[in-house]
Amino acid sequence: MNDEKVKGRLQSPEERIHNFNEVEFGFNDEEALREANRCLQCVNPRCMKGCPVSIEIPEFIKHIKEGDIKGAYEVISRSSSLPAVCGRVCPQEKQCEAMCIKGLKGEAISIGSLERYVADTAIQNNLNSITPAPKNGKRVAIVGSGPAGLTCAGDLAKAGYEVTIYEVLQKAGGVLIYGIPEFRLPKSIVGKEVESLKNLGVEIKCDVPIGNSLTVDELSKEYDAVFLGTGAGLPKFMGIEGEDGNQVFSANEILTRINLMGAYKEDGKTPIKKVEKAYVIGGGNVAMDAVRSLKRLGIDAHIMYRRGEEELPARRMEVEHAKDEGIVFDLLQNPKRILTDENNNVIGLEVVNMVLGEPGEDGRRSVTEDENSLHTVDCGMVVMALGTSPNHEALKHSDVKLDDRGLIVVEGTKTSLDNVYAGGDAVTGAATVILAMEAGKKAAKEIMEKLS
Amino acid sequence: MYKVLYNKKISSASFEIAIEAPLAIRNAMPGQFCIVMPHEDSERIPLTIYDMDPEKGIITLIYQVVGASTEELSCIQDEVFSVVGPLGHANEICANPEEFKGKRICYVAGGVGIAPVYPQVKFLKEHGFDVDVIYGSRTAEMLLIRDKIEKVAKKIRYATDDGSFGTKGFVTTILEDHIHDYDMVVAIGPIIMMKNVVALTKQYNVPTIVSMNPLMVDGSGMCGACRCEVDGKPKFACIHGPEFDGFKVDFDLALKRMSIYREEEKEKWEQRKKRMEGEANHE
């Protein structure tokens, strides 16, 4: 029996750097079946232990083997409200697939690709996931429609709760809409997942800045429980000279203009700068998303990261895709100053080389500057992808307790207020979609325990 | 979608729009702003709140047509796609009127800057303040909502660049003559006007609040497009402002940062004009 892993088909790098269409095509029926048949259906499935939301992986794969995609979708939907999203953006290589027994001697099952296949097939055929339990008359407000909020909403709605999500932007999805680019996660897919939550009875109110319009205190009185999934927050800057230059942007701004506002489209009404050469500072997933987006606008796009290749925090696959697309990685380098002309336009960067030292307490290797290496490079844009610091807009006029880093303090997922829960980046600092989903799931469980 | 009650031209370049958006003015205070999107694919347009009727849930905004997006807004008759508000902080005086009791306050407005000035003056009048207003524009025809502001201001003085109404000259021409009458100034208008007002009030050490209107995208602190330099540090106008201590704002930098998308904006303006002409010919 041929046991070779089925490789996902990709748009070629030469082609995809000229469009924003999805890089991976996803399995067709034959590929999915062939990959599913590789699964050993372990009695004690290790893969499930690697899944933050405990999807019954062998069970859904079994349904694929039997050609029962509806059944597979039902199994996944029991645990996840966003399978088409997770199948695409979860770091499976560190989670389920890392645990897969087949990975010990050969290659792990492509669980992520199979999950995506099931979800996409369900969406194409308008398969309903789950019929919600009868309404129990309890009402929950959710602040923020990102992965944490959507997951919490989905679990509560399935259990019969009446759920209202409040979102400040004009579209639901949070980082899935404004942050992760179309070529990794098509917005139509996010739209469909949101649609299926609405079909479960979840109400979504966009354009509401909680904290300024309604407050958390008001919500906690009006609803039986409140979940805060407000996300990561304010983009960080370096605090170096020239950072107020006209073409210095946060990665969030670049991504928001492109993804949420459609600035990459020919007839897009929100503008985006098209320069010859740009540097994205940082080495995480957001940096990869930003740099690959800029490349697609025809910009000579570089990553500048102060540590080395091994230390890049981004998903390996994203780094590989970026390299294939011709992104230049300027590693072990750090900007010291942004150079601007008399009109405040960016003309270059003053850069210093970095030297890696021993790993520190956090396990990350320290870096020091090589003082003799100061040099300048030309560029017309600098994008900061350095992470975020907490944003407390939603908490205005309320007494939710924060820690000294400004993150929401929780016990389990409960905040210092009686019926207010929180999870996701607002609690942990910037992390991943799936961890936010795990927190949303956990909060839904705790809310149900409290209210039952 | 939000119902538009009216969207009318009030001068050669300015419009007043009234929209039903109860949550956008819930708990709103003078000085705060909102963001409007005419259509689903439009730009997000930040506008400071001009007037509101909390009982009916109606927000009223005044805007000037300066490019493709505001022109697009001016064509709306029935409904707009998105209105989000209130955003940013309330004006400091309106938020804590007790702290400012007894202060002699002068509001200085330039052009459409009268729109955000009006609710503050009105609010303060309702809270026992008598404040003066100096209002300037290029020409008489561009002086807006005169009847409304005259009802709430103690004294109002006008300036026009061409002398067609009030004093010939700038708001600073008038302010300089009366600067000793005031303990505090609030200036709202074009950056260059606010810069000139602050240059004057700084000389006489009269504390001055200004309202910054930089380029902005989400308006909730997420993107940092609206960074202004205040006291040497970057501040986000959307969540730290939009009002700041005028003595600490770097206006020259703000002016330069306004020009970031000038070429792109011009291009989109041309595109829109062509499209509109095309549609007109088609009819």
With a cut of 90, say whether residue A162 has pLDDT above it: yes
**Of the residues A98, A124, A150, the one at which a domain ends:** A124
Is the domain of A341 the same as that of A353? yes
DSSP state of A411: B
Residue B57 lies in a domain: yes
Within this chain, do residues A154 and A67 fall inside the same structural domain, yes or no?
Answer: no
Residue range A305-342, pLDDT digits in tens: 999 999 999 999 999 999 999 999 999 999 999 999 99
**Would B255 be classed as within a structural domain?**
no
Tell whether B261 is covered by a domain. Answer: no
pLDDT at A364 over 90: no
- Asked whether residue A95 falls in the same domain as residue A229, the answer is no
Examine the fold and report which residue of A64, A92, A124 is the final residue of a domain before the chain moves on.
A124
pLDDT for A286:
95
For residue A2, is it within any domain? Answer: no
- Taking residues B109-132, report their average pLDDT: 96
Report if residue A147 sits inside a domain.
Answer: yes
At B177-203, the pLDDT tens digits run 999 999 999 999 999 999 999 999 999
Q: In degrees rounded to 5, what are phi and psi of residue B76?
A: -70, 135
Query: What's the domain count of chain B?
Result: 2
pLDDT computed for residue B282 by the predictor = 63
Of B153, B188, B211, the last residue of a domain is B211
Nearest chain A residue (CA) to B32: A212
Q: Answer yes or no: is B218 within a domain.
A: no
Token pair 């290589």 is found at: A93
Nearest-neighbour CA in chain B from A219: distance (Å): 13
**How many domains in chain A?**
3
Least confident of A87-91, B62-66, B163-167: A87-91
| pLDDT at position A222 over 90 | yes
Q: Looking at the structure, do residues A256 and A345 belong to the same domain, yes or no? A: yes
Q: What is the CATH number of the domain that holds A160?
A: 3.50.50.60
pLDDT per position as a tens digit, A273-302: 999 999 999 999 999 999 999 999 999 999
Residues B66 and B122 in one domain: no
Give pTM, 2 decimals. 0.94
Nearest to A262 by CA among B80, B1, B43, B270: B43
Kindly state whether residues B127 and B76 are assigned to the same domain: no
Domain containing A262: what range? Answer: 235-387
pLDDT of residue A15: 95
B79 and B100 inside one domain: no
From the list A448, A447, A425, the residue with the least C-alpha distance to A437 is A425
Q: Judge: B224–A234 Cβ closer than 8 Å, yes or no.
A: yes
CATH number at residue A57: 1.10.1060.10
Q: What is the pLDDT of residue A362?
A: 79
Contact A213 B256 (CB under 8 A): no
pLDDT tens sequence across A406-427 = 999 999 999 999 999 999 999 9
Residues B52 and B157 occupy one common structural domain = no
The pLDDT tens digits of the residues spanning A176-206 come to 999 999 999 999 999 999 998 999 999 999 9
- B126 with B178, same domain: the answer is yes
B163 in contact with chain A, both atoms CB, cutoff 8 A: no
Span A421-440, mean pLDDT? 91
Task: Round the average pLDDT of chain A to a whole number and report it.
Answer: 94
Interface of B with A in 83-142 (CB under 8 A): 83-88
Residue A1: pLDDT band by 50, 70, 90 thresholds? low
Q: Answer yes or no: do A305 and A414 share one domain.
A: no
Interface of A with B in 386-445 (CB under 8 A): 391, 393
Q: Give which of A257, A263, A237 is closest to A248, Cα–Cα.
A: A237
Q: Are residues A407 and A427 in the same domain?
A: yes
Q: What is the CA radius of gyration of chain A?
A: 23
The verdict on B81 and B117 lying in the same domain is: no
| A131 falls within a domain | no
Residue B159 to chain A, least CA–CA distance (Å): 31
Closest-CA residue in chain A for B87? A212
**Residues of chain A contacting residue B268, judged by C-beta atoms under 8 Å apart:** 269, 271
> Which residues in chain A have Cβ-Cβ distances shorter than 8 Å to B86?
209, 212-213
State pLDDT tens for residues A117-159: 999 999 988 887 678 899 999 999 999 999 999 999 999 999 9
Contacts of A410 (CB under 8 A, 6+ apart): A421, A422, A423, A427
Give a yes or no: residue A250 inside a domain: yes
3-state secondary structure of B239: helix
Task: Say what the pLDDT of residue A129 is.
Answer: 64
CB atoms under 10 Å from CB of A231, counted, come to 28
* A214/B contact by beta carbon, under 8 A: yes
Residue found under tokens 């794969």:
A61
Question: Mutation test of the interface with chain A: which of B36, B217, B222, choosing the one with the most A Cβ atoms within 10 A?
Answer: B222
B32 and B83 in one domain?
A: yes
Region for residue A92 given its phi and psi (left: phi exceeds 0; alpha: psi -120 to 50; beta: otherwise): alpha
Indicate whether this complex's ipTM tops 0.90: yes
**Percent residues over pLDDT 90 in chain A:** 85
Q: How many residue contacts between A and B have a Cβ separation below 8 Å?
A: 127
B215 touches chain A (CB under 8 A): no
Using the 3D structure, point to which of B52, B87, B122 is the last residue of a domain. B87
Residues 6+ apart with CB under 8 A from B270: none
The 10s digit of each residue's pLDDT in A257-281 is: 999 999 999 889 999 999 999 999 9
A360 confidence band (pLDDT: 50, 70, 90): confident
Average pLDDT of span B61-73: 94
What CA–CA distance (Å, rounded) separates B4 from B60?
10
Last residue of a domain, one of B36, B68, B87: B87
- Indicate whether A7 belongs to any domain: no
Task: Output the domain CATH number for residue B9.
Answer: 2.40.30.10
pLDDT of residue B279 exceeding 80, the answer is no
Can you give the CATH number for the domain in which B111 is found? 3.40.50.80
Mean pLDDT of the region B202-229? 96
The reply to whether B100 and B180 lie within a common domain is yes
> What is the helix (H) or strand (E) element at residue A360, kind and residue range?
none
For B121, the domain range is 92-211
Q: Are residues B24 and B74 in the same domain?
A: yes
Same domain, A319 and A411: no
